[in-house]
Amino acid sequence: MKDDDDSTHTITIQFHKRAQLLASMLNSDSIAVFTNMDSLTVFADYRIPQLFRHLGIIKYSEYLSGLVDKQQEIKNGSPEEVEIRAATIYASELLRACLEERLKSDLDSSQTVQMTNARLDYYLWSKAVDLAENDIDTKDKIKPFHRCRCIYY
């Protein structure tokens, strides 16, 4: 099985979305206990970039916007697909850190808080699906998600 990575440039970027998702699911159901859940990233797929684009958190180039808006397939492992996933992870990490700081400032010093990327991913993914499929005000306004045929998401 091919790795979920991009090795076509000078560095290799590995995403391992499904492996991270499995670890998160096993941990949340207490089937397995992982002490390093904070080391996971969001599970870079197609819905969170759609949400981030809608909210103006990430912006696509004119070329990439054209591909996505016309619902043309983006090749798995292409620079465009890797950039979408990497930008999503980066933006999510910045968002997670801000949320964690905000939560800490709202609590007294005896309380601890940890905003994991797994928890953030669940919220963001659910919100993206809701906006795209259920919200009357946005479902006709939200731009499409990127199309990429692969087994990784």
Q: Which residues are catalytic?
A: 45
**Residue 14 is inside which H or E element, if any?**
strand 13-14
Residues 94, 122: Cα–Cα separation, whole Å: 16
Angle subtended at Cα 130 by Cα 100 and Cα 117, rounded to the nearest 5 degrees:
25
Beta-bridge partners for 73: 147
Cβ-based burial of 119 (10 A; exposed 0-12, middle 13-18, buried ≥19): middle
Q: Which of 98, 147, 141 is nearest to 120 (CA)?
A: 98
Residues 133, 131: Cα–Cα separation, whole Å: 6
